[in-house]
Amino acid sequence: MPTSTNHRIKVLFPGINASFQSTSHQQSELSRSPKMYFIWTTTSVLLLALVCEAAVVTENGFPIQWEKSPSELSQLEDGQIHVNPWDYLQRMGLYKVLINSTNPYMSSMGPGITENPLWSLPLQLGWKLRSGRLTDPTPSSISTCGLESSEPVCISPHSWYGCINYYMSVLPFLAAVHSGVVEQDVNQIHIKGPADVPEDYCTSFTQCSTNHNHAMNTWQTYFQSLRLIHESEDTDFNKKDRILGLLWAAEEKTLQTVSFACSERKKLYSSPEVRFGQNWLNSAAYVAAAHFHGNIERTEKLMSPLPSRVLQENDSPPNISDLSTEENHTLSILNWINRINQVLGGSLVYLWRRAMCSPQTREKGQALLYNLILDPKFETSSLITILREMSSSC
């Protein structure tokens, strides 16, 4: 049983320098009744089965450690706002600021605070932490950075996943500040670079705009368009589709841009993990074309069957014994999609994009994604036929 622990996490945001205390729980004595023992045993087995079916990507319905992350920026000395994106809570805090700042423009997404499509980004960051993908993959490394048990929880700059996510958090944050969606002077923002490889990461709006111009431009277009779309006379259905289209254009452009910047780090992983990582990166093309609405509920469903640990050399899906059936299925489907696309010379991605030609077909595409990932009985051989039928209606 866990023991009571007091610890303090110090970050450069207000309201976060607080103690988080966990208390030990007393386990009540089981009834000696055979009936009660049977019920308890059956319930335990069912709960264990549920745990084994999916990776945990949320806590209390929100991303991992979301409640501990700061919701506001803090003004420090010399008029500078210092942000350390290598502190997990502070990087998560960037997402919290972005979501809170864009919520006023998201009424077309649906009611409630969980409908903002930016939720997919912090949910991914939480999964990377929980699955051990924010650690240093260097074989000789003895660093505990990137482990959820570290204190404070940090992100290794040598992690390929941490590198990709750096640009998927810092770039949109700086673009939102520059666009006025986050009400701060972009010149006051100071992003801390990693101590050992500072040259690998841009740390200011000017530097990021110079090094990753196309990605920054698409993020600025997204944030600058939110108010205009929100205040337009268009239907909520069309507003939603337009917002999602601009968001995915920015995300896809960022992934294309920084996949090269982070590529050397990918070489440190096992071949199955490299293959999964590349397949995961390639899947963005399909999700983006379908204008996937990454609210909390939808994103959690698609992310739950992702592998809950880093893959090793002897891992071969769908026969990885310590991963669930759902995780093995997801790995196999991602392998299949990438392999078919390679065999067809890129035609699968082309056909998919062509089929996602209207808001109506894009909704069908989102349902098709669910079938591919979540339904083991789905006949993958019918995919191309379905896509051709969808594209014929365009």
**Is there a single domain that holds both residue 243 and residue 313?**
no
CA distances from 122 to 91, 92, 240, 275 (A): 9, 6, 20, 23
**Is there a single domain that holds both residue 112 and residue 136?**
yes
pLDDT at site 80: 83
Compare 74 and 322 and report the one with higher pLDDT.
322
**Is there a single domain that holds both residue 228 and residue 367?**
no
The domain boundary, picked from 239, 268, 297, lies at 268
Q: What number is the average pLDDT over the span 245-260?
A: 94
- pLDDT beyond 60 at 10: no
Residue 178: its H or E element: helix 160-179
Q: What are the tokens at 66?
A: 């979301």
pLDDT at site 15: 34
The domain boundary, picked from 33, 49, 65, lies at 49
Strands (E), 179-246: 189-191
Q: State the Cα–Cα distance between residues 249 and 238, nearest whole angstrom.
A: 16
Going by pLDDT thresholds of 50, 70 and 90, the confidence category of residue 334 is: very high
Going by pLDDT thresholds of 50, 70 and 90, the confidence category of residue 372 is: very high
**Is there a single domain that holds both residue 172 and residue 227?**
yes
**Is there a single domain that holds both residue 65 and residue 181?**
yes
In sequence order, the 6+-apart residues with CB closer than 8 A to the CB of 273 are 310, 311, 312
Going by pLDDT thresholds of 50, 70 and 90, the confidence category of residue 394 is: confident
**Is there a single domain that holds both residue 279 and residue 264?**
no
**Is there a single domain that holds both residue 136 and residue 35?**
no
**Is there a single domain that holds both residue 319 and residue 362?**
yes
- pLDDT beyond 60 at 98: yes
Q: Which range is least confidently modeled, 13-22, 184-193, 341-350, 361-370?
A: 13-22
Amino acid at 234: D
Compare 5 and 338 and report the one with higher pLDDT.
338
3-class SS of residue 19: strand
The closest alpha carbon to 91, from 16, 20, 144, 19, belongs to 16
pLDDT at site 72: 85
Which residues form the domain of 376? 271-394
pLDDT at site 240: 97
The string of DSSP letters for 268-279 reads TS-HHHHHHHHH
User: Inter-axis angle of helices 359-374 and 347-355, to 10 degrees?
Assistant: 130
pLDDT at site 54: 59
Q: What number is the average pLDDT over the span 127-142?
A: 94
Compare 364 and 53 and report the one with higher pLDDT.
364
- pLDDT beyond 50 at 22: no
**Is there a single domain that holds both residue 308 and residue 262?**
no
Going by pLDDT thresholds of 50, 70 and 90, the confidence category of residue 29 is: very low
Compare 41 and 355 and report the one with higher pLDDT.
355
pLDDT at site 30: 37
- pLDDT beyond 60 at 126: yes
Q: What number is the average pLDDT over the span 92-99?
A: 97
3-class SS of residue 382: helix
- pLDDT beyond 90 at 266: yes
Number of domains in the chain: 3
- pLDDT beyond 50 at 11: no
Q: What number is the average pLDDT over the span 47-67?
A: 72
- pLDDT beyond 70 at 35: no
The domain boundary, picked from 218, 252, 268, lies at 268
Compare 200 and 232 and report the one with higher pLDDT.
232
Phi/psi at 155 (nearest 5 deg)? -120, 125
Percentage of the chain exceeding pLDDT 90? 72
Q: What number is the average pLDDT over the span 168-197?
A: 93
pLDDT at site 51: 37
pLDDT at site 65: 96
**Is there a single domain that holds both residue 365 and residue 293?**
yes
Percentage of the chain exceeding pLDDT 70? 85
Q: What number is the average pLDDT over the span 299-306?
A: 95
**Is there a single domain that holds both residue 76 and residue 156?**
yes
pLDDT at site 79: 73
Q: Is 249 exposed, middle or buried (0-12, 13-18, 19+ CB in 10 A)?
A: middle
- pLDDT beyond 50 at 171: yes
- pLDDT beyond 70 at 127: yes
pLDDT at site 78: 66
Going by pLDDT thresholds of 50, 70 and 90, the confidence category of residue 200 is: confident
**Is there a single domain that holds both residue 262 and residue 348?**
no
